[in-house]
């Protein structure tokens, strides 16, 4: 089961290792399976504090289980206020953007402190309206787009995290179905109330 998660895990590992997270305050926007894996990797490699946002209550709870110190609903909770309070008004050192949602991107950059790093894996739905000056230029933010993974470095990093026990991916497989039950599996996936759904012969 862990083997079939490697493609997604590679994305998470590549994103988390793209910037230095050690002793940093990190915000992960988007808690789908890759975002949840990224939280676990950030915790394993020494992030000081991890904050997470999503629009699914199920995934917000899941984020806590994967290592987030604070997980918030992106539209129902006062995210800016809560994260600023948790960071003594400073904001976060690192933004790991996993959702591609315009509102999450704006929220994430609003919370990124001056001189902070942003690694972006989420794919946005087309052209964005974005406060370029305040979010990047005036903050002297360093922004890195993430695509795929680094061969072979990412695979060695992924293998090391799993073999050492530093990251446990098993909680992410939340549902298991026989192949003939694929319709049930897709319904669960579509609901948003699942991690990874496994189909077996």
Q: Encoding tokens for residue 121? A: 């894996």
Asked if 146 contacts 122 with a C-beta cutoff of 8 angstroms, the reply is no
Helices 57-66, 33-44: crossing angle, 10 deg rounding = 20
Query: pLDDT tens-digit profile of 6-23?
Result: 999 999 999 999 999 999
- Give all domains of the chain, ordered by start, each with its CATH number: 3-145 (3.40.50.720)
Query: pLDDT tens-digit profile of 174-191?
Result: 999 999 999 999 999 999
- Position 104 confidence tier, pLDDT thresholds 50, 70, 90: very high
pLDDT at 160 over 90: yes
Sequence-ordered list of residues with C-beta below 8 angstroms from that of 53, at least 6 positions apart, any chain: 27, 28, 29, 30, 31, 60, 71, 72, 73, 74, 79, 104, 107, 108
């Amino acid at each position: 089961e862990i083997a079939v998660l490697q493609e997604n895990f590679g994305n998470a590992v590549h994103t988390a290792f793209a910037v230095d997270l050690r002793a940093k305050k990190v915000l992960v926007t988007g808690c789908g399976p890759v975002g949840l894996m990224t939280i676990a990797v950030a915790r394993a490699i020494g992030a000081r504090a991890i904050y997470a946002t999503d629009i699914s209550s199920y995934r917000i709870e899941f984020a806590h289980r994967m290592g987030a110190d604070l997980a918030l609903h992106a539209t129902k909770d006062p995210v800016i206020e809560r994260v600023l309070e948790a960071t003594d008004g400073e904001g976060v050192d690192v933004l790991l953007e996993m959702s591609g949602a315009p509102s999450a991107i704006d929220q994430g950059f609003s919370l990124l402190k001056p001189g902070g790093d942003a690694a972006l894996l989420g794919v946005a739905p087309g052209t964005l309206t974005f406060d370029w000056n305040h979010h990047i230029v005036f903050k002297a933010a360093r922004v890195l787009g993430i695509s795929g993974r680094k061969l072979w470095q990412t695979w060695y990093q992924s293998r090391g995290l799993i073999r050492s026990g530093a990251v446990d991916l098993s909680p992410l497989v939340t549902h298991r179905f026989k192949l003939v039950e694929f319709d049930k599996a897709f319904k669960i996936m579509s609901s948003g109330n699942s991690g990874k759904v496994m189909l077996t012969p």
